[in-house]
Amino acid sequence: MAKKITSKSEDFSQWYQDVIREGKLADHSPVRGSMVIRPNGFALWENMKEELDQMFKDTGHENAYFPLFIPKSFLSKEAQHVEGFAKECAVVTHSRLKSVDGGVEVDPESKLEEELIVRPTSETIIWDSYRNWIQSYRDLPILINQWANVVRWEMRTRLFLRTMEFLWQEGHTAHATKEEAVAETKQMLEVYRTFAEEYMAMPVITGVKTESERFAGAEDTYCIETLLQDNKALQAGTSHFLGQNFAKAFDVKFQSSEGQHEYVWATSWGVSTRLIGGLIMTHSDDQGLVLPPKLAPNQVVIVTIWKNDEQKEAVLDYCNDIISDLKQLGIRVKLDDRENMSPGWKFNEHEAAGIPVRLTVGPRDLENSNVELARRDTGDKNIVDREGLAERVDTLLDTIQDELFETAKERIQNNTHSVDSYEEFKEIIENEGGFVYAHWDGTAETEEKIKDETKATIRCIPLEDGEEGECMVTGKPSKQKVLFARAY
């Protein structure tokens, strides 16, 4: 198979599209800005979803589902929220079509009394329900997560990273006290950090967004940020402390243990299929996808080789024993015994799909009681004994997982800078990219000036306290250095 993947160094954007195509993760849809998630891509999302869902349940959350359609009046109840999402909303105005001359058109008589918004996020529709569910402190906390699709009318789209419709989870919790809500917000940020680093092998920095980058309607937005191979940043997940804004907008009060009526405190938090884009750009190479074993739909693929039916039967028996041993250790394994494709073609296909370990078995391996083992991440190939193979592979998968994280961590560290002058800042942002720590005076005006002049944004204010200094632009006092980068 001829190489179909553009080199990262030649054209990173095209490389990204090629990796998705050759890995059979997703296709562009006939609907501009939407995507078709193919089985390989959806299996990856399912594995992410399964791990995250268990982490949510382990922290006391339950799943529920709320309507896709939201009355337009709901969005207008929280002023900051509607302002933040107004330009991205898809609006349903009519309820049916009618046939006209062999085609269809909107039936003007079906105009809705109140237009409906296709869910861009669910705070408003959920808090309308919470008003009915919450009367007393005994009803709190409510800890709910929803797995759903959302629609945001994006004009500039890119598969997985930014699409008009995407899949995600959104957590929405209600609490009796501010302290509980803030603790929940930070707890879920830590869940996201753990998932990113321990499952995706993707190092992240945690912090708080500036006011201008904050979620619409939130008092504080916490985030995880990572740096991709093109030295651009990606916001990989957010957790929002909503204060009492939505409780006040929807008049959600509870009677405290002292008999007082008080507004509820709220959080929301979410990650989406954007994580798949982050995963691709963190680990993959010019041969295609590189997947961390913990999330790879297939952790091992076995490719067979034979020349006749007698060899075929013996090779398959040998492979089935290997598969049984691997499955006993909980390893996800795929047998590729297709006869209409050459071994080389299969190797390239599985390499592009990012399967972490490839085993190749032919008649000579049976004679010598061994197999050929190849690592996707490094390309290393070795002949190894059949005896103890499953345990060897199990250990190797852990090694690959750890080394992918360490490789990404080293890359990010090598592309993280700290500067004191605006001139040095501009030079690094323009010529190298990456993360840049610099002092900022805390004003929206300076933040906007930096963004206009360099296209770099404040990715987050790190949670760890830093040293005070002077803003690199204005010279005014700065509490600590903040994290800048150009970003997706």
* pLDDT score at 333: 98
Band of the pLDDT at 283, cuts 50, 70, 90? very high
- Length of the chain, please? 488
Contact 395, 410 (CB under 8 A): no
Please list the residue range(s) of the chain that carry CATH number 3.30.930.10: 12-68+123-283
Token output for 72: 């337009």
**Domain 12-68+123-283, CATH number (from 3.30.930.10, 3.40.50.740, 3.30.465.10, 3.40.640.10):** 3.30.930.10
Alpha-carbon torsion (441, 442, 446, 452), positive or negative = positive
How close are the terminal C-alpha atoms of the chain, in Å? 32
pLDDT (tens digit per residue) in 161-204: 999 999 999 999 999 999 999 999 999 999 999 999 999 999 99
DSSP readout, 65-86? Answer: ---SEEEHHHHTTSHHHHHHHG
Rounded alpha-carbon distances, angstroms, from residue 53 to 84, 169, 389, 472: 28, 9, 32, 43
Q: What is the bridge-based pairing of β-strands 435-439 and 477-478? A: unpaired
* pLDDT score at 1: 45
DSSP readout, 322-356? Answer: HHHHHHHTT--EEEE--SSS-HHHHHHHHHHHT-S
Non-local (6+) Cβ contacts of 305 within 8 A are 315, 343, 360, 361, 362, 363
Non-local (6+) Cβ contacts of 473 within 8 A are 422, 440, 441, 446, 449, 450
Buried b (16+ CB within 10 A) or exposed e, 322-337: bbebbeeeebbbebbe
Band of the pLDDT at 3, cuts 50, 70, 90? low
Question: How buried is residue 235: exposed, middle or buried, by Cβ count under 10 Å (0-12/13-18/19+)?
Answer: buried
pLDDT (tens digit per residue) in 318-329: 999 999 999 999
* pLDDT score at 288: 98
Average pLDDT over residues 365-385: 98
Please list the residue range(s) of the chain that carry CATH number 3.30.110.30: 416-485
* pLDDT score at 82: 76
**Domain 300-411, CATH number (from 3.90.1150.10, 3.40.50.800, 3.40.50.300, 3.40.640.10):** 3.40.50.800
Residue 23 DSSP symbol: T
Q: What is the bridge-based pairing of β-strands 261-263 and 111-118? A: unpaired
Instruction: Report helix, strand or coil for 281.
Output: helix
Average pLDDT over residues 61-78: 94
Percent of the chain surpassing pLDDT 90: 94
**Which stretch of DSSP H or E encloses residue 146?**
strand 142-151
**CA 415 – CA 425 distance, rounded (Å):** 13
Total-model pTM: 0.96
Contact 448, 213 (CB under 8 A): no
Strands (E), 89-130: 90-94, 97-100, 103-106, 111-118
Q: Indicate the residue type of 359.
A: L
Instruction: Report helix, strand or coil for 9.
Output: coil
Question: Measuring CA to CA, which residue among 264, 319, 291, 68 is closest to residue 201?
Answer: 291
389-414 and 309-328 are packed helices; what angle lies between their axes, rounded to 10 degrees?
70
pLDDT (tens digit per residue) in 239-268: 999 999 999 999 999 999 999 999 999 999
pLDDT (tens digit per residue) in 400-454: 999 999 999 999 999 999 999 999 999 999 999 999 999 999 999 999 999 999 9
**Domain 416-485, CATH number (from 3.40.50.10490, 3.30.110.30, 3.30.1330.20, 2.60.40.1930):** 3.30.110.30
Question: Measuring CA to CA, which residue among 394, 330, 280 is closest to residue 21?
Answer: 280
- The whole-chain average pLDDT of the chain stands at 96
